[in-house]
Chains A and B, each alone.
Chain A
Amino acid sequence: MLFNSIGFIVFLILVFGIYHIIPGKFRLSVLLISGFYFYMSWNYKYGLLLAGVVLLSYFGALFIERKPVYQRKMILLGCIIIDILLLFVFKYSNMLLETIYGVKSILGQTGQIPVLNIILPVGISFYIFQSMGYLLDVYWNKIEAEKDFWCFGAFIAFFPQLVAGPIERSGNLLKQMRNISDYKLQEEDFYTGIFQMLFGYFEKIVIADCVAEVVTVVYTEYTDFCGAYILLATVLFAIQIYCDFDGYTNIAIGVARLFGIRLIKNFNTPYFSQSVTEFWHRWHISLSTWFRDYVYIPLGGNRKGKMKKYRNILLTFLISGLWHGANWNFVVWGGIHGLYQIVEDVLGFTSEKRKGILKRSIQVVMTFLFVDYAWLFFRADSLTDALYMTKRILTQFQVRELINREMMIQLHLTIAEWCVLLLAVVILCCVDLYKYYLDKKNIRNNSVLEIYELAYKWPVSLRSLSIIVIIWLLVVFGHYGPQFNASQFIYFQF
């Protein structure tokens, strides 16, 4: 059940209605059941896996809390190993087999690669990481183990963030779940949630899915395109993946708000970063802070000298790359980001120093280009493809081809569609610029005002009209329906 499907809209309206009508004490059960229904709509068998993870973490945490110190560690390790094994079996077993056979073929041994017929459950990495984070928090005595099974189940299986995050911390989401029975729907939450959802849909179906058509053509038939087109497609992919993932996140956060839950911020205008290090403070924040707290810091962080710090950065980003997908491309992508940050640290290149606007703008553009080049490895089907495309960009750029009408036609978009896309990207940039400005203002004023909350301050008539107009624009200019090969959110596969 994709967020951009009629089925989800109907499901949401029903769950929303039931949730706010029934007595507060039943809300957790509604959230838990709806979460399982939502997840099992992909494949009913997934329900068993999710139930297994919920039960393992629930009882694991209770045991960790009650047992003496030496047993706590064993229980934690046992739970973490089972979680990682689940991830490995469902996500990485085929990658391992391919690698073994790849090495064998290099050594001159041939043979057919056996492919295990395992379907990757959507969002497995997200809820397994969320439950591992919870177990570690209980082990480190950051929080108490949750005794209420419904509350814990709803925390892991909360449907808005179940399949692609944000990866929630028990300190935030679990706490809110405990108090959910007293919640009364606030007008502010309702309108903020609706506007955030609508903006998410705008990012996904107007921008990301439109751009995806061009990117797919170029990345599939890359040998037919010169370097300029590959670069164009890579820049467009940067927009696609941002709009796809930020769009999903905005829908998730907006939906959660309708239920009185505030999920953590996952993106904070990442393409306005002045360094790659800053980029990772603004991109997929819930994952990067997870890796910081549960991998980088336990490895020693930056406390044991420069060399160990760099080793820890590199290791963290290699693992982060692997988390993204069972393919060496992702590992290389993670490695590139790790190296970027090491180089930045060696050169003393940070964004904290005060600089003029021109210098800052140049840094923003340079950072974007570095990040964008890494996206090439993320999007390409294999390492060989990524290297071939890099070579093509460097040796056969042919910028003139960009105005070749026949080549442009091959990109599947009409001039009118390009115009709408351009306008949509301009709107996105304006909104992000305002978010950036608001963020700075929030830091100065020590506040947490979100751009979507501003809409609540508008007069009722303007709010209502805006909702109608935005929905109409989405219906007309969105990319969906039978003539469009609907793509699911990119991060669902992780």
Chain B
Amino acid sequence: MKKNNKILLAFFIVVVLVTVLLITNKVFLLKDENFYNYHNFTRQERNTIDILVLGSSHSRNGIDANRLDALLSEQNISVKSFNMSITGLRFEMMAYRLKEVLKTQTPKLLIVETFSAVPIGYSDADITRRYAIDYMPLTWNKLQYLNHYIEEEKNSYIFPLLRYHSRWKELTKEDFLVLNSSWLDSTSRQNGLVAFTEDVVWNKEDDYFTKDFSDLTEEMPLESEVDKALQELLQVAKKNQIAVLFVSLPFKVQMGYTSEQLVQNNAYIQNHYCDENTKLLDFNRNYEALQWSFQDMQDEGHMNASGRQKIMPVLADFIEENYF
């Protein structure tokens, strides 16, 4: 075989192999709500999102982007919101995600859920990072993030098939739907909200929400790594002229981190980062004002549909008063 033909053959083999592996990668990725959330986002028209929500599963369940748009519309504010919250999202991942969002969208307001201030030791960093990163495309931004935060198994973050290849034994029809270009249209997921079952109520009488943290003035500094990540997030927002609203949604305890601790972390955020364009709305300070009870929760950490009904109008009013 001639030398040129050999080079062409080698090139052809590499191209086919990479293509096959990329398709396999797509099929083998875990198809959970975080996966659909991101792909739903990619289907949004360019520069149409005005309010972007970033946070953990608390805001994924607690902030209904469709409802927020409707409530603001009643006040003659026409905006489009998108909830990009995913399981266990922390501040460090938010800055990375926001940078990705800014490639196609120009949000004017960023809602940041402060449960993401949870200290790193409280959550499984690897798993939550994977929820935030594995579905995202390989970009310079992603490589920078990996270089900064990931020490072990970097390769499997760059090429997730290295992690998910053992899913061959659990693949279902749903995994192969991604090979069809219209696969996402068949899903009902809108504006990023992926709420838990509507009628689930926390099946446990609990008087935790009779507590009142209104007078709690003591602030608890954020963990230094978390603090740095928050500063980075705020810098990105500031650079792109995005106003920021910190929101702390009602909960009791999650991963050993209590709402009382969060209120103290919120006080720190309030004192150090809030200004004209950056405000804080803390729903955990005074449960009585919201008439909050265990019936508004579906478990210790997440609210249910009833809770969402209580939260959304307050949030919409706050946004209307302070930002539009």
Show the binding face of A for B, using Cβ within 8 Å. Answer: 6, 187, 414, 416-417, 460, 464, 467-468, 471-472, 475-484
Contact = CB atoms under 8 A, between A and B. Distances in A.
Interface residues of B, number: 23
B210 interface: no
A475 B166 contact: no
A464 B10 CA distance: 9
Interface stretch (B12-20, B115-123, B296-304): B12-20
B7 interface: no
Interface string B158-202: 000111011011000000000000000000000000000000000
B162 A482 contact: yes
B17 A476 contact: no
Interface of B: 1, 6, 9, 12-13, 16-17, 20-21, 24, 28, 126, 152-153, 155-156, 161-163, 165-166, 168-169
Contact of A481 (B6, B126, B162): B162
B21 A464 contact: no
Contacts of A460: 1, 9
Contact of A482 (B6, B21, B156): B156
A467 B169 contact: no
Contacts of A480: 162
A101 B17 CA distance: 57
A464 B6 CA distance: 12
A464 B9 contact: yes
B166 A483 contact: yes
B271 to A, nearest CB: 40
A467 B165 contact: no
B165 A478 contact: yes
Contacts of B13: 464, 467-468
Nearest to A417: B169
Task: Tell me the dominant secondary structure on chain A's binding face.
Answer: helix
A403 to B, nearest CB: 21
A417 B21 CA distance: 21
A166 B17 CA distance: 31
Contacts of A479: 166
13 contacts: A6-B155, A187-B1, A414-B169, A416-B169, A464-B9, A464-B13, A467-B13, A468-B16, A468-B20, A476-B28, A481-B156, A481-B163, A482-B126
B21 A483 contact: no
A195 to B, nearest CB: 13
Contacts of B12: 464
Given A417-B169, A475-B21, 12 more contacts: A6-B155, A460-B1, A464-B13, A468-B16, A468-B20, A471-B17, A475-B161, A477-B165, A477-B168, A479-B166, A481-B165, A484-B166
B1 A483 contact: no
Nearest to A472: B20
B166 A481 contact: yes
A467 B13 CA distance: 8
Contacts of B168: 416, 476-477
Contacts of B152: 482
A472 B21 CA distance: 7
A287 to B, nearest CB: 34
Contacts of B161: 475
A414 B168 CA distance: 12
Contacts of A468: 13, 16-17, 20
A289 B67 CA distance: 79
A17 B24 CA distance: 28
Contacts of A483: 163, 166
A36 B165 CA distance: 33
Contacts of A475: 21, 24, 161, 165
A6 B16 CA distance: 19
Contacts of A481: 153, 156, 162-163, 165-166
> A467, A468, A471, A481 — which one has the most chain B CB atoms within 10 A of its CB?
A481
Contacts of B126: 482
A418 to B, nearest CB: 11
A138 B220 CA distance: 74
A467 to B, nearest CB: 6
A477 B169 CA distance: 10
A477 B21 CA distance: 13
A460 B1 CA distance: 10
Nearest to B16: A468
A472 B163 contact: no
A476 B165 contact: yes
A206 to B, nearest CB: 12
A291 B17 CA distance: 44
A140 B257 CA distance: 74
Contacts of A482: 126, 152-153, 156, 162-163
B150 to A, nearest CB: 11
B22 to A, nearest CB: 12
Contacts of A484: 166
A482 B126 CA distance: 10
B143 to A, nearest CB: 15
A191 to B, nearest CB: 11
Nearest to A474: B165
B21 to A, nearest CB: 7
A85 B155 CA distance: 40
Nearest to B126: A482
Contacts of A478: 165
Contacts of A476: 24, 28, 165, 168
Nearest to A477: B168
7 smallest CB-CB distances across A and B, nearest first, come from: A416-B169, A482-B153, A481-B162, A6-B155, A482-B156, A468-B17, A482-B163
A135 to B, nearest CB: 41
Contacts of B169: 414, 416-417
A187 B9 CA distance: 12
Contacts of A416: 168-169
B4 to A, nearest CB: 14
B124 to A, nearest CB: 13
Contacts of B6: 187
A6 B159 CA distance: 11
Question: Which of B12, B126, B155 has the most A CB atoms < 10 Å from its CB?
Answer: B155
A467 B10 CA distance: 11
Contact of B24 (A6, A187, A464, A472): A472
